[in-house]
Structure 1
Amino acid sequence: MVQKRTMIIAQILITGMMALIMSGIMSMIAIGPNEIWLKAWPHQFIIAWPIAFIVTQFVGRFGFFLAGKMTGAQAH
């Protein structure tokens, strides 16, 4: 079983990486690959990261629940 501290650190890292990538991609699609986009991206990332972290606290549990139902695996 993974320790709670390890899970929290993993969630911080994973949500940070996902927020960085997704905020970059989505803002580039909306604005286009230019100087304005490069200036806007860090701001979008700062907004996206805490939202992603909080949302995963709920969505992650539900995702594991659904995966367990689909595969017949027992949740720990």
Structure 2
Amino acid sequence: MSGAPTGVEGAARGLAGWLSLAAAPTFAVMAVLTAVSGGGGMEMMCSPGAGSPLSGMVPMYLLMSAFHSPAWLRLAFGR
């Protein structure tokens, strides 16, 4: 199965590309919304305590956004 991708394969790659671009800004928006709203009940449930600056939902969303940013970097710098 070498050669150009079929219509389904091409569509799947295109969708995967758009999904990879959607992840980083989605997590960044979630971090901002969580910070503005004060975290809510999930903040208490997911936070082990005040011992670590990386505890809580906001830092988690920011880290997830950073880990998903290579798709944007590839787009910006043309691979």
Greater C-alpha Rg: 2
Using structure 1 for the length normalisation, give the TM-score: 0.35
Q: Which one has a larger percent helix, Structure 1 or Structure 2?
A: 1
- Which structure has more relative contact order (CA 8 Å, sep 6+)? It is 2
